[in-house]
Structures are given as structure tokens and as C-alpha cells.
Chain A
Amino acid sequence: DIQMTQSPSSLSASVGDRVTITCQASQDISNYLNWYRQKPGKAPELLINDALSLQTGVPSRFSGSGSGTDFTFTINSLQPEDLATYYCQQYDNLPPTFGGGTKVEIK
């Protein structure tokens, strides 16, 4: 199975800050990398697919980049409603595997 290493596991930032989360795959997954957001007590929701494609309706302050084994998720200008845990997920090979998550808190 492909292992996904996500970092940091948690972070605290101020409104307006730029936040960056990284995800590393244990082998080349091309661009088969997705990012999900899970707000407290809610189901996950897809934000970005195929490393950089923003889902319809997702604010443009969210972005993704990378290919191969190294990927980055960025929130430009953090907002209070961005309080959530964010997960990367690869789907190059079955089983699909998730990173451990990054809990984003607002200072």
C-alpha cells in the first residue's frame, strides 16, 4: 500500500496568514492526489482533485501543487471558517490511502 505522510499534524495561525501543508507519497503517484477538508463534527468534503484542480465553489484562497511524491496545499489569507482538519489522499493505486491529517486552528 502507498503511505501518505502529511505534515504538520497541527498548526495554529492568525487570520490573514498563509498556511502550507505538505504531503509526501511513499512512491510516485503522478498527480493522483486529492485534498479534503473536514470541519468539526461534519463529513469530509473534497476541495482539490488531481493535485491542483479546485472544486466548483471552493474559494480561490485554496490551492494545491506538486506531482510525483511531493505535494503542497496552501490557504492564502486564512479565514475563521477554515478551522478544520485537512487530509491528503492518493488514488493512484488501490487501496486509496489518506494522510494522517492536519488540524488547523485559528489563533
Chain B
Amino acid sequence: AQKVTQAQTEISVVEKEDVTLDCVYETRDTTYYLFWYKQPPSGELVFLIRRNSFDEQNEISGRYSWNFQKSTSSFNFTITASQVVDSAVYFCALSDPNTGNQFYFGTGTSLTVIP
């Protein structure tokens, strides 16, 4: 069965520190997709990144970077030089085309960046 685990419930960092949010997933399928979403205090869900199971290249977008490692079934998210605007709940999700594109979300990590 598909499952996403975000073991870090809450994280607090001081502004300008780097922070890594962990995501571990479970699936028996060889084709799957991984996602990160951000939910700021205003409540909307904002898409950050999509990665398919055949692409293990790390990705960097500004201060954000993602480390996908199939060997450890992990898809970790790092924010460099954190800012107060990064304070949000971050969700990792897994999607499997073989199960009708159902998304399986982790329970989220609440990040607080202290000025």
C-alpha cells in the first residue's frame, strides 16, 4: 500500500538558517510521482514540485532544493537561508497512476521561521 511519512511534526528555525524537511514514502510500484505542497497560514495549498520515479536528479529552485533517493525511498526538501515567509505547513505526497492518480499525503511538517 502507498504511504507517506513526515516524521517531523513541527520545526522551528531562526531566520537565515537552513532547514531540511524529511519525507519517506512506501509503494510497490515502479512508476510513481512525488510532490511537495506548501500551506501558508492563509490556508491555500501551493504546489512546489513534482518528481517522477525515473528521475533521481536533485533539483534546485532559488532557495529551495529537493533530494530524491530511491534507495532510501526519500524525497527531502531543503530551504536555504530561511525567511519568515517560509513559515507554513509543508506536505509531501505520492501519486500512483495505477491507482487512478490518487494522492497520498503525509501528515505535514509545520515550519516556523523566527525573525
Do chains A and B stick together as partners?
no
Which residues of A does B touch, CB under 8 Å?
none
